[in-house]
Amino acid sequence: MRLNVATWGDPHAARTAVLLHGVTSNLGSWARVGPALADAGFHVYAADLRGHGDSPKPARGYWFSEMVSDLPESVPTSPDLLIGHSLGGALAVVAMEAGLICPASLVLEDPALVMQDPLFPSQSLADDERDLPLDPVELLRLHPTWEPVDAEAKAASVAAVDWDHMRQAYVGNVPWDLRPEVLDLAGRLPVRLILADGSQFVSRADAFAFEAALGPGSVVAVQGAGHSVHRDDLTAYMSIVFQFVDPS
């Protein structure tokens, strides 16, 4: 299935980046990250995942294996950089382990790597659905470091989803545990984890274990940032990404 994709930057740029958003979101999540990477010399691709944004929304077909099967038809399969946020982080790992996308480096932003109990994702989606309609003005009040484009994209993405599809994608795949796969990938390519301050998705114990395996500085929690680190503190977020891809 071909996904809806947005791009930023020069198509002839020396480097490419692929960005995968989280559940209920869409490619508008990357409205500030995409241009920042393009300014740094990347040609950037961001896809609306199946069931999200302007991509097809089939009634069924939200197993992780089905969702990642769309990527080779929609984005470069050998990008220099792959970034996955939240559920997009989990899908990035699944896609890589399946050999569907083979980046040179991987950034996982507060990734949903482990989900053993369906209660957490079920309650999370129920809370989001209950809070509709999300108003951009209210979102900016709740998230004062966001820009209007962040709030507008978030409100639009949540308003457009079918909640049964979201439950299939998020709750329907429980249980999963991708921690061993991340450690496996880390033996093949550079991996960086960027976490929320007090992440609900990556425990302190797991963060320490990842850093011990991946190397010093490989796991960074951004002080004061919530789950959408790239929206909450873009400056810190991009600084971590750029230090990772251009360490010199």
Domains of the chain: 5-245 (3.40.50.1820)
pTM over 0.85, yes/no: yes
Per-residue model confidence as pLDDT tens digits over 207-225: 999 999 999 999 999 999 9
Token duo for residue 166: 């979201």
| Mean pLDDT computed over 172-199 | 96
Per-residue model confidence as pLDDT tens digits over 116-136: 999 999 999 998 888 776 789
Question: Any idea which of 62-71, 110-119, 152-161, 220-229 has the lowest mean pLDDT?
Answer: 152-161
| Mean pLDDT computed over 17-23 | 98
Give the pLDDT band of residue 248 (cuts 50, 70, 90): low
Judge whether residue 44 has pLDDT over 70.
yes
| Mean pLDDT computed over 129-148 | 88
**Helix ranges, 17-147 (H):** 33-39, 64-68, 71-74, 87-97, 119-130, 136-142
Encode burial over 225-238: b for 16+ CB neighbours within 10 A, e otherwise: bbbbbbbbbbebbb
Contact 20/84 with Cβ under 8 angstroms? yes
Contact 210/193 with Cβ under 8 angstroms? yes
| Mean pLDDT computed over 147-164 | 94
Contact 207/222 with Cβ under 8 angstroms? no
